[in-house]
C-alpha cells in the first residue's frame, strides 16, 4: 500500500465493533487504521494492538514490550492524522494557515529584535552610542526567522532556525552576544528567573531563509558569498563605512561569566 490513507473501516465495521471483546477489529492483511478518528479512539487503539502483535511476531528478539510498540504506533499515527487533515484542507484553509504561520514567525522575529535592542540600550549604548544606531539599522528584517518542528503535538516545540546566508560571521557573533547578555540580565546576574516565560528553544538547522539581504548596511555585515557577484553587490549596495562588531571588554566579561550556564540552555539567534 503506497498510502496509509487507503483502507478505512466501513460504517458496518464501526457499528459492529465492540472494544470489550477480544475479537480483532481488523487483520494485518486487511489493516484498517482510520485517520478520521482520534489516534486513541477505541477503534484505533484496537488497530494499534493488531499492529503491535504483527510487528513483534515479525521481529523476533525485539527488545521492546508490546506496550512500548503500541505507544510508538500511537505517537506516529498522531502525526499521520495531522498529515491527513492537511491534505483535506480547502485552498482557503491552507491560505489562512500559511498567513497565520507567517504572522507567528514575524512576531517571534520582532521579539528577538526588541530583546537585542533592549540589551544595547541598557548595557552598550552608554560607552558605544553607535551601537544603538546600528541595531536600529539592522531592524527586524535582519533577525533570523524560525519554524516549529513539533510534528506529534507532544512536549515542548523546538524551533529550527532559518539561517540568513547573507550575514557575515562577525555580525552573527555580535548578535549572539546580545542574546547571552539578555539572559544574563533576565536572571539578574545570578541565574534567578525574573517574570515571564522561559524563552523557547531554538536550534541550528541547515534550512536557509529565502528572504533577500537587508540593503545598505556596512560592508562588514555581509558574508563574502553575498557580495562577490557584481550584480548582487550592486543590488545590496553595501556601505563603505566602519562598524564596530567587537563588543567592549566589560561586555565580554559578562558573556564569559554567563555563557557556560545560560547559552548552553537556550539561544535566540
CB 180 within 8 A of CB 247: no
Per-residue CA distances from 192 to 184, 195, 203, 260 (Å)? 9, 10, 24, 15
Rounded Cα gap, residues 74 and 18, in angstroms = 20
Residue pLDDT, tens place only, 34-81:
998 888 899 999 999 999 999 999 988 888 899 999 999 999 999 888
Residue pLDDT, tens place only, 185-216:
776 554 444 555 555 555 666 777 778 899 99
Find the mean pLDDT for residues 111-131: 88
Amino acid 260: pLDDT? 46
**Percentage of residues in the chain having pLDDT higher than 90:** 35
Question: Dmax over Cα atoms in the chain, in whole Å?
Answer: 78
Beta bridge partners of 163: 208
Q: Any idea where the domains of the chain sit in the sequence?
A: 11-87, 115-263
Amino acid 234: pLDDT? 93
Q: Are strands 201-208 and 145-148 parallel, antiparallel or unpaired?
A: unpaired
**Which of the given ranges, 12-21, 175-184, 256-265, has the highest pLDDT on average?**
12-21
Question: How many C-beta atoms lie closer than 10 Å to residue 184's C-beta?
Answer: 22
Beta bridge partners of 147: 160
Rounded Cα gap, residues 96 and 38, in angstroms = 24
Residue pLDDT, tens place only, 129-170:
899 999 999 998 888 765 554 444 444 555 667 788 899 999
The grid coordinates listed for 256 are 564569559
Amino acid at each position: 500500500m503506497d498510502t496509509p490513507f487507503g483502507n478505512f473501516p466501513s460504517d458496518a465495521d464501526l457499528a459492529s465493533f465492540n472494544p470489550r471483546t477480544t475479537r480483532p477489529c481488523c487483520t494485518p492483511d486487511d489493516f484498517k487504521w482510520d485517520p478520521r478518528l482520534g489516534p486513541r479512539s477505541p477503534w484505533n487503539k484496537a488497530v494499534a494492538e493488531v499492529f503491535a502483535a504483527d510487528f513483534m511476531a515479525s521481529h523476533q528478539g525485539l527488545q521492546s514490550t508490546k506496550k512500548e510498540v503500541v505507544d510508538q504506533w500511537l505517537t506516529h499515527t498522531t502525526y499521520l492524522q495531522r498529515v491527513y487533515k492537511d491534505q483535506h484542507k480547502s485552498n482557503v484553509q491552507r491560505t489562512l494557515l500559511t498567513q497565520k504561520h507567517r504572522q507567528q514567525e514575524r512576531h517571534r522575529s520582532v521579539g528577538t529584535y526588541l530583546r537585542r535592542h533592549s540589551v544595547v540600550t541598557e548595557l552598550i549604548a552608554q560607552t558605544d552610542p553607535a551601537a544603538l544606531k546600528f541595531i536600529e539599522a539592522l531592524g527586524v528584517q535582519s533577525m533570523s526567522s524560525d519554524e516549529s518542528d513539533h510534528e506529534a503535538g507532544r512536549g515542548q516545540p523546538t524551533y529550527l532556525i532559518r539561517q540568513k546566508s547573507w550575514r557575515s560571521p562577525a555580525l552573527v557573533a555580535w548578535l549572539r552576544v546580545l542574546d547571552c547578555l539578555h539572559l544574563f540580565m533576565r536572571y539578574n546576574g545570578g541565574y534567578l528567573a525574573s517574570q515571564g516565560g522561559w524563552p523557547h528553544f531554538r536550534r541550528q538547522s541547515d534550512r536557509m531563509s529565502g528572504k533577500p539581504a537587508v540593503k545598505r548596511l556596512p560592508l562588514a555585515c555581509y558574508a563574502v558569498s553575498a557580495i562577490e557577484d557584481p550584480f548582487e553587490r550592486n543590488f545590496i549596495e553595501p556601505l563603505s563605512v566602519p562598524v564596530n562588531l567587537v563588543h567592549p571588554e566589560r561586555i565580554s566579561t559578562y558573556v564569559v561569566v554567563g555563557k557556560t550556564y545560560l547559552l548552553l540552555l537556550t539561544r535566540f539567534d
